[in-house]
Amino acid sequence: MTDSSRPLPRPPRLIATDLDGTLLCSGGVVSERTAAALASAERAGVQVVFVTGRPPRWMEQVSPHIGGHGVAICSNGGAVVDVHRGELLRSFPLAPADTLRVVELLRAELPGSAFAFEFPGGFAREPEYSLFMWDSQNEHPVAPAERLLAEGRVDGLFKVLVKHPELDPDVFLDKARAVAGRYAEITRSAPVALLEISALGVTKATTLAGWCAEQGIDRSEVVAFGDMPNDLEMLAWAGRSYAVANAHPDVLASVARHTLSNEEDGVARVVEELLGLG
């Protein structure tokens, strides 16, 4: 349930929401109620910014629901994209030496790990890295991670992905952080053993904070929504945050305010309350 025991503050100036597992229903769908709530927020002058682990190339599906500014924060803060124009506005790349060190450490300490890379030119992967449906039809480089890095085929990479065929997802995350956390930000958002790695110091929170500073928006004027460990920094940074009911246990424990699940339009419900919609 939403936190309705206190008087509601004035409407926020910016709503920052995760997508998969938070805003979107099964199949990556924006429900009619959620679409209407987002549109109402935009009409009321409230910016809506999608802050997601998705890469830029996966944003077309939700493009109709991005506000007039057209901007989304993708790859856990690694990239800022104008989705309407298909333009990468800025990115925060990993240092090549740090990336190689992360690959070496995880490969040595967690055998079976398979790597993929997101960069301004697209996507590349190792042969052992199984594809998601949305990438299966697109041509991309396939080679061992060390070769892709050495040959400069992933220049400017802003996210590393790592899959493991056997480990529990949370165990995988804990072990990877212990081994390589001093070289990069390591998090997860998927129900499977899939790690998401960004440059050290780059999270959803840091990139959102930069965007808000450019807009003259204080963190106290931001409401954020999330469901997984990759949302924790953003939820801690925003002035008012909500975890959806289906969130990871660590998120539910860390965030005081909860709303209904993504399947029950939990984000829409809070937005409606904040805007005073009946």
> Domains along the chain?
14-91+203-275 (3.40.50.1000), 96-199 (3.30.1240.10)
Closest by CA position to 61, among listed 27, 89, 85: 27
Please write the tens of the pLDDT for every residue from 106-157. 999 999 999 999 999 899 999 999 887 666 567 899 999 999 999 999 999 9
For residue 62, pLDDT over 90 is answered with: no
Give dist(CA 264, CA 257) in Å, integer.
16
Cβ neighbours of residue 19 closer than 8 Å, sequence gap 6 or more: 28, 50, 52, 54, 62
**Is pLDDT of 207 > 80?**
yes
pLDDT value for 61: 82
Q: CA dihedral defined by 54, 56, 60, 64, rounded to 10 degrees?
A: 90
Categorise residue 105: left if φ over 0, alpha if ψ from -120 to 50, beta otherwise: alpha
pLDDT of residue 63: 86
Question: How do 79-82 and 71-74 pair as beta strands?
Answer: antiparallel
Stronger pLDDT, 63 or 8, i.e. the higher one: 63
> Which residues fall within 8 angstroms of residue 239, CB to CB, at 6 or more apart?
12, 218, 219, 220, 221, 222, 223
3-state secondary structure of 227: coil
Residue 274 pLDDT exceeds 60:
yes
Residue 72: alpha-carbon gap to chain centroid: 10
Name the residue with tokens 């995760």.
18
pLDDT of the residue at 4: 39
Q: What is the mean pLDDT of residues 256-263?
A: 98
pLDDT digit string, tens, across residues 147-198:
999 999 999 999 999 999 999 999 999 999 999 999 999 999 999 999 999 9
